[in-house]
Structure 1
Amino acid sequence: MQRRKILVPLLAMALLMPATILAEDDLPDASVDIEAAFVSNYVWRGIDYHSGRAIQEQKAYGPDTGAWAFQPSITFNTPVEGLYANIWGSFAMEGREDEDVDGVFQTTPGGTDILANASGGPAQYDAWLTSWFGSTSPSHFDIYNNALGQTSGSTGDLTTPGVPKQYKEQNGLKRSDEIDLTIGYERETSVGTMGFGIVTYTGANPVGKYASQEEMFISYAPSILPIMTLSIYKELEGGPVAGGSGSYYSVSFGDGAEVSEGIEVFGSVNFGYSVRPQLQGWQDVTASAGVSLYGFTVSYNIAYRPDMRLHDNDYYEANQGGEAHEDLPVWILGR
């Protein structure tokens, strides 16, 4: 399913709470930085993780159909200069639970409408019997076997796994809850600031739809232009792109200025280029502008998706588990 190009505005509010650890003599520089952020939507590299909110509200997808999220972050700065570990999370604050949006009778969430082709009471009754028992004239054994299967949680000999009724679709935004773990190293040198590390992205909710993913990254900010940072992220084996062969290249510019004591304004822009099997292009352009007031930060962010092929659900799902690109849409492959 293709989604149109879109500018996604985000409002982010964060509270920064640096807390220096009272370390022993051999750990004089260890510290912990804590940030608690509230964002009006969760968009990462142009990917809208809360796009399902539009489905829940039965609205057309657009720049204002996201859901608020709480995104805490804890950074542990080790005594080794430049070495750090970070724990970051994102938790939807709206639309967390599954909702029934199609309002039809089915045997599974998101299943076929069993009454779609039935007109009139008798036809609907027969369709209901067939969907549950496999026949319009079930025997006593069919009814007993069905009830036993429903009680035990097993489908037994049933042709369908559930009772015909209105089911909630699997669209709760709790499925997008996430916890990321980062271990990195950053060092300022005479030629610029260099960094590298590894990030593990994991679903924070047991009902989440995606498996964990790992990326290695390197970054470089030249001393002659410190506001520019070049970064490369490389997926490791087991990522959502087949064979763990996806890469993301980032060029970002960011700077800030202190207006007065405790008050700072800042801005940034990022250009992201994605390379995947048989497909590459500019994935996103994101920008942010905000102000920091004595540790409390408010910013406005936008995300633009130049190449919608990189956001096509069919492409993403076809690459889950590393299956072949034979299933990719023709409009992506160009044949």
Structure 2
Amino acid sequence: MQRRKILVPLLAMALLMPATILAEDDLPDASVDIEAAFVSNYVWRGIDYHSGRAIQEQKAYGPDTGAWAFQPSITFNTPVEGLYANIWGSFAMEGREDEDVDGVFQTTPGGTDILANASGGPAQYDAWLTSWFGSTSPSHFDIYNNALGQTSGSTGDLTTPGVPKQYKEQNGLKRSDEIDLTIGYERETSVGTMGFGIVTYTGANPVGKYASQEEMFISYAPSILPIMTLSIYKELEGGPVAGGSGSYYSVSFGDGAEVSEGIEVFGSVNFGYSVRPQLQGWQDVTASAGVSLFGLTLSYNIAYRPDLRLHDPYYESNQGGEAHEDLPVWILGRSNRSDGRIEDPSKKYGYINTYVNQQIQNVLQNTSSLGANYTYTPRQKIPRYLWWVSISYGFSI
């Protein structure tokens, strides 16, 4: 989700016109910039959009537990000086498909283990019958009616939620695939470079976890300090980009130097402050350093996340989520937005972990005054840093 740039009708018409119709002096001064990038993780504004890879691999969240992604970009620089449009995308290259990470029998993906409290073959068989038919002694009519209901869909098999079996959880990284459209205007003046535009963030996959979202932005780089850029991004309506209707304020510094012909080194740092409903703070400090060799760019990137409250929901949402009450953890055994802790995939998922955690929860429920309301989940600290590498190649036509 960098600054991206939509093909305007004027440019399309100009490119399609025969060369014989336009005199040389009348040809539009337009260009197209194309870039293909491969990144070791999809991180934007300090948010780890591929954190679900840790769940699939049943590892604790860390600074580099994401997944590789392909991120192409096409920028159309129109004949109108300063007016540009961009199409940008991000597509996971690993862990795209949903996986079964808990390994238990359930009636829905991520549901309760129906055999958790059943010991021995007969008890487990009864639990299986009860979860499907509502009784340990279903009639022939119950069995026929239930089976008919489960196979009446277009697939014609027993895949409809409600059938007790092992389900794949909704953790495939294809759910984070994205296509962004940007149209903007940028102009250099005597007092500095000014820009503005609008970005539309859309999911690139029908099973995407995020809805479409639009942001409007303005930017300014003063002439006395051109390496600094001040930017404001404002959501046009509530959505997932900033965790609801909110704003993102950015102060960035970036510069580069040509070492020799075709070879350039560069560096940048961005300070981002987020304002959301009932929550605001420094969201990220993201730095990048790299080298560009004749269009091929290699860079190392690191994001420091000062206020972990702004990142907590993105981890929980990958795991089905839980209420972010500001209640003390001990009351319900849950986490809250301010404790800096999230579910630990290395201790939560897998058949053995699921069984052990269920037994611990049973003991706690029997000894707690809250009984069945108490939930036990092993937790870890939210990673304070993230790092990733980027390899890209770009050219203009």
Q: TM-score range by the shorter chain?
A: 0.7 to 0.9
Distance between the aligned counterparts of 1:331 and 1:9, measured in 2?
Answer: 59
Asked if the contact 1:233/1:249 (under 8 Å) is kept, the reply is yes
Asked if the contact 1:3/1:308 (under 8 Å) is kept, the reply is no
> 2:336 maps to what in 1?
none
Cα 1:195–1:10 shift into 2, 3 Å? closer
Cα 1:92–1:144 shift into 2, 3 Å? same
Distance between the aligned counterparts of 1:9 and 1:112, measured in 2?
Answer: 53
Distance between the aligned counterparts of 1:120 and 1:284, measured in 2?
Answer: 52
Asked if the contact 1:232/1:249 (under 8 Å) is kept, the reply is yes
Cα 1:134–1:14 shift into 2, 3 Å? farther
Q: What SS class does the counterpart of residue 37 from structure 1 fall into?
A: strand
**1:285-309 CA-partner distances (Å, limit 9, x unpaired):** 1000000000000000001110001
Distance between the aligned counterparts of 1:209 and 1:152, measured in 2?
Answer: 27
Cα 1:332–1:103 shift into 2, 3 Å? closer
CA shift, 1:162, in A, is 2.2
Cα 1:68–1:9 shift into 2, 3 Å? farther
CA shift, 1:245, in A, is 3.0
Most deviating of 21-30 and 134-143:
21-30
**1:138-187 CA-partner distances (Å, limit 9, x unpaired):** 11111011111111139999999421111111100000000000000000
Asked if the contact 2:53/2:67 (under 8 Å) is kept, the reply is yes
Asked if the contact 1:246/1:274 (under 8 Å) is kept, the reply is yes
Asked if the contact 1:268/1:288 (under 8 Å) is kept, the reply is yes
Asked if the contact 1:9/1:303 (under 8 Å) is kept, the reply is no
What is the TM-score of this pair, normalised by structure 1? 0.85
Asked if the contact 1:242/1:277 (under 8 Å) is kept, the reply is no
What is the TM-score of this pair, normalised by structure 2? 0.72
Cα 1:311–1:277 shift into 2, 3 Å? same
Most deviating of 22-31 and 252-261:
22-31
Alignment of 1:31-50 (within 5 A): 31-50=31-50
**What residue ranges of structure 2 are gaps of 5+ in the alignment?**
333-397
Distance between the aligned counterparts of 2:81 and 2:75, measured in 1?
Answer: 14
Identical columns (%): 98
Asked if the contact 2:190/2:223 (under 8 Å) is kept, the reply is yes
Asked if the contact 1:191/1:223 (under 8 Å) is kept, the reply is yes
> 2:194 maps to what in 1?
194
Distance between the aligned counterparts of 2:271 and 2:256, measured in 1?
Answer: 19
Cα 1:8–1:97 shift into 2, 3 Å? farther
Asked if the contact 1:15/1:297 (under 8 Å) is kept, the reply is no
Distance between the aligned counterparts of 2:165 and 2:147, measured in 1?
Answer: 15
Question: After the TM superposition, which parts of structure 1 deviate over 6 Å for at least 4 consecutive aligned residues?
Answer: 1-24, 154-160, 315-333
Asked if the contact 2:5/2:181 (under 8 Å) is kept, the reply is no
CA shift, 1:27, in A, is 4.2
Asked if the contact 2:5/2:84 (under 8 Å) is kept, the reply is no
CA RMSD of aligned residues (A): 8.0
Q: What SS class does the counterpart of residue 16 from structure 2 fall into?
A: strand
Distance between the aligned counterparts of 2:153 and 2:108, measured in 1?
Answer: 13
> 1:325 maps to what in 2?
324
Most deviating of 34-43 and 8-17:
8-17
Distance between the aligned counterparts of 1:7 and 1:87, measured in 2?
Answer: 9
Asked if the contact 2:214/2:235 (under 8 Å) is kept, the reply is yes
Q: What SS class does the counterpart of residue 231 from structure 1 fall into?
A: strand
Asked if the contact 1:9/1:64 (under 8 Å) is kept, the reply is no
Cα 1:22–1:260 shift into 2, 3 Å? farther
Distance between the aligned counterparts of 1:268 and 1:311, measured in 2?
Answer: 22
* Count of aligned pairs: 332
Higher strand share: 1
Distance between the aligned counterparts of 1:329 and 1:31, measured in 2?
Answer: 57
CA shift, 1:64, in A, is 2.0
Most deviating of 238-247 and 31-40:
238-247
Asked if the contact 2:176/2:203 (under 8 Å) is kept, the reply is yes
CA shift, 1:28, in A, is 2.4
Distance between the aligned counterparts of 2:10 and 2:302, measured in 1?
Answer: 6
Q: What SS class does the counterpart of residue 318 from structure 1 fall into?
A: helix
Asked if the contact 2:56/2:99 (under 8 Å) is kept, the reply is yes
Asked if the contact 1:20/1:31 (under 8 Å) is kept, the reply is no
**1:241-262 CA-partner distances (Å, limit 9, x unpaired):** 7996300000000000000000
Matched, 1:30 2:30: yes
Most deviating of 145-154 and 234-243:
234-243
Distance between the aligned counterparts of 1:321 and 1:20, measured in 2?
Answer: 60
Cα 1:211–1:217 shift into 2, 3 Å? same
Cα 1:90–1:38 shift into 2, 3 Å? same
Distance between the aligned counterparts of 2:73 and 2:16, measured in 1?
Answer: 9
Q: What SS class does the counterpart of residue 157 from structure 1 fall into?
A: coil
**What residue ranges of structure 1 are gaps of 5+ in the alignment?**
none
